[in-house]
Amino acid sequence: MIRHLVFWKLKETANNASKQENAEKLIEMFQSLKDKIPELIEIESGLNFNDSPAAWDFALNTVFYTKEELDIYQAHPEHQKIVAFVKTIVEDRCVVDYEF
């Protein structure tokens, strides 16, 4: 099994919306992938409430059976729509992929 974790630092405002509004839209967008990408086993995302300087603003946690299925997810047109939106609201990004 593969776990794909992504963390973002969001802009305070982007696309005429606040960080909170963009995070809520992002959660909805990620949740919509559940029924659109068969390779996606689990998905959850959320806006951080920890105010530590070390904390990231937003997290995405997804699970796949194989690395190949992760690749399919990443190239999927519905995921690519989210990628385009994310690029407009994000300051920084980090990712971790691991097998378990």
Cα–Cα distance, 63 to 56 (Å, whole number): 20
Q: Where are the domains of the chain?
A: 2-99
Report pLDDT for 12.
Answer: 97
**To which H or E segment does residue 24 belong?**
helix 19-31
Please state the rounded mean pLDDT for residues 6-27.
Answer: 98
62 band by pLDDT with thresholds 50, 70 and 90:
very high
**Start-to-end CA span in the chain (Å):** 5
> What's the per-residue H, E or C state across 29-58?
HHHHHHHCCCCCCEEEEEECCCCCCCCCCE
* pTM, rounded to two decimals: 0.94
Spatial CA neighbour of 63 closest among 37, 89, 94, 91: 37
Q: What is the CATH number of domain 2-99?
A: 3.30.70.100
45 falls in which pLDDT band (50, 70, 90)?
Answer: very high
Instruction: Report the pLDDT value the prediction gives residue 29, as an integer from 0 to 100.
Output: 98
